[in-house]
Chains A and B, each alone.
Chain A
Amino acid sequence: MTRLRIDWTACDGRGLCAELVPELIERDEWGFPLISDAAVPPGVLVHARRAVAACPRLALSLQAENA
């Protein structure tokens, strides 16, 4: 399964990702992403990939794990 991961040293809370994957990402009160730990559902995967490509800081990635 696949999870979204954030590189916290790179992320500076621009919030593009929360706009593109509202299913799994919210913003905290300082604009940083609050990211769901859940596996990315198949239907959301396209949006997740788009968010990974759009992050201006290249801080977001998709990680495949064997569960």
Chain B
Amino acid sequence: MGNITWEEFVVGVRHVLAVSDSIGDGWHVRGSLEEHGGGYLAKRMDYPVAIGEPSERTAEDATIDHDSVTEPYENDPCSIDPDSSFRPVYGEFHVLYSLAHAVPTLYLRAWRRDGSCLEAQELWRGLTAAERRPSSDESERLRSLTQQEHPFLGEPWYHLHPCRTADLMDQIAGNDVDRVDAKRYFIRWMSTVAPLVGCPVSHHYASFR
């Protein structure tokens, strides 16, 4: 089975939620799973690695220093300054159901703390470096990100194009004698695809009860 129905997708999502809650992995649902194609799975990841340059600054920036602001406690003895030697990057992963391809699709985006987005190439280098995944030719291909408007948010996100997903899932299931149910399908897909773009999937998800 290379494809799954929306109902099977929901079964997979609920399984991820249940496991995620038990291990505090942070997956949650946005939108509504009750409605056909109406919701998706989301997770935030923070990376302490200093990747990418700071966003562009203009000269204007210097004029808004507000040194005139009169805060009496400018040197607040009861606070410490955050460590500025790291430039964190924040990533968000969304698992949507692709109605056209009848497969799950991974959307992702990463940004710096001021909200400026990482370009695809930085995203690549950064997220996967953080994960230190060995890369094979096949994984290189799978990682092919394209820019796509997020169906729910209407903003440009990156996604792993779903056109190969069904083939991939067929391949993975190829020698399997077990019946591949929706949960297994979903977890297999996630653990194949998500780590490629820096979103690890814990082995806990693979224990089914």
The yes or no verdict on A and B being binding partners is: no
